[in-house]
């Protein structure tokens, strides 16, 4: 299945059916009177977050969603049939934006969450609704209300607890494959990862979701390489794991490159809790490892984890450090939810 995280769709709700002008014509009924029914309500357009989807690829092949209009009213006080609603099924984590791609309409972060995008038009009143003591035979009915037409954007931001960031070939995909059942493409050349990957990670009997995004390079915020188009998928994460390639001779520069691109993309993303790990330590001798660790610690201004996704050295310690932040975030979220529970 191809990955698509941005789609433009065109929606239109159904118009309401027109009211009916009709009078009773039954034999042996002395006073007939009006009996025109109301028009049916037009179908609405909804969006719903469903389980089992992690891409918007379906919206590449179908971009127009038009609900049916309500049927007009009929005689004998018969109301027209209402148009059926249309439901756009989207992955959890989908943002719905207005045509300007900036105004947020809804953010669907839970399974089953629904939002009304375009309300169907009301049906028009039949002439029966206008009958009164002073107007016993009204001969007018209302037209149905028109539907709503609009253009919207769907933008997917994957739901994950931890996000992997780093330069291409920093070992992010290898690490994700080592700690989860995810099977991202792994090779010894840059930009092996072209789309985000998710994996469920277990540590000390606990589980959390980790997202691996394509590597960033200097100038990604200006569109170089794959750009920063996939950074949105780690915006929801509680913590970022910054992997630095230990075999690189420019450790500090590599670290600052990623930090600069995060800051250029979003201040909120750059301010997220971040754990830094020096990867591929199995390929370094003791002297080189010590020197590069000191260099990275000076750049970070704090402690650095040592690990190897291939040999497994230090992996459990990194996962425990990630869980310490994730667990604290979950506890705060649960406390906040309980506080506002009616």
User: What are the binding residues for Mg(2+)?
Assistant: 173, 193
For residue 68, give both structure tokens.
């049916």
**Residue closest to 309 by CA, chosen among 179, 220, 222, 199:** 179
Known binding positions for GTP? 166-173, 191-195, 212-215, 279-282, 308-310
- Answer yes or no: are the C-beta atoms of 172 and 151 closer than 8 Å: no
For residue 159, give both structure tokens.
């739901």
Residue 296, helix vs strand vs coil: helix
> Distance between CA 280 and CA 78 in Å, rounded?
75
- Answer yes or no: are the C-beta atoms of 307 and 281 closer than 8 Å: yes
Q: What backbone torsions phi and psi does residue 51 show, to the nearest 5 degrees?
A: -80, 155
Burial class (CB in 10 A: 0-12, 13-18, 19+), 200: middle
Known binding positions? 166-173, 191-195, 212-215, 279-282, 308-310
- Answer yes or no: are the C-beta atoms of 289 and 330 closer than 8 Å: no
């Amino acid at each position: 299945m191809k990955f698509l995280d941005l789609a433009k769709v065109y929606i239109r709700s159904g118009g309401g059916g027109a009211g009916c002008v009709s009078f009773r014509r039954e034999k042996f009924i002395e006073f007939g009177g009006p009996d025109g029914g109301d028009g049916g309500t037009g179908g609405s357009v909804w969006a719903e977050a469903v389980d089992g989807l992690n891409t918007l690829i379906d919206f590449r092949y179908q971009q127009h969603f038009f609900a049916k209009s309500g049927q007009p009213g009929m005689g004998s006080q018969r109301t027209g049939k209402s148009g059926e609603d249309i439901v756009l099924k989207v992955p959890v984590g989908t943002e719905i934006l207005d045509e300007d791609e900036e105004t947020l309409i809804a953010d669907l972060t839970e399974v089953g969450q629904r939002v009304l995008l375009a309300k169907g038009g009301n049906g028009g009143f039949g002439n029966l609704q206008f009958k009164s003591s002073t107007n016993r035979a009204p001969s007018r009915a209302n037209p149905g209300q028109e539907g709503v037409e609009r253009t919207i954007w769907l933008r997917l931001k994957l739901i994950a607890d931890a996000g992997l960031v780093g330069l291409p070939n920093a070992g992010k995909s290898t690490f994700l494959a080592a700690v989860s059942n995810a099977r991202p493409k792994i090779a010894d050349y840059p930009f092996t990862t072209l789309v985000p990957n998710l994996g469920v990670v277990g540590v000390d009997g606990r589980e959390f979701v980790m997202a691996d995004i394509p590597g960033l390079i200097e100038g990604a915020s200006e569109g170089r390489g794959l750009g920063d188009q996939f950074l949105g998928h780690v915006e929801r994460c509680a913590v970022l794991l910054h992997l630095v390639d230990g075999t690189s001779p420019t450790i500090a520069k590599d670290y600052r490159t990623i930090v600069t691109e995060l800051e250029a993309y979003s201040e909120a993303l750059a301010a997220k809790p971040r754990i830094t790990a020096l990867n591929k330590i199995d390929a370094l001798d003791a002297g080189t490892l010590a020197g590069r660790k000191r260099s990275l610690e000076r750049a970070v201004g704090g402690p650095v984890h040592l690990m190897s996704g291939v040999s497994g050295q230090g992996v459990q310690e990194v996962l425990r450090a990630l869980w310490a932040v994730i667990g604290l975030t979950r506890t705060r979220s649960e406390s906040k939810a309980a506080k506002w529970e009616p």
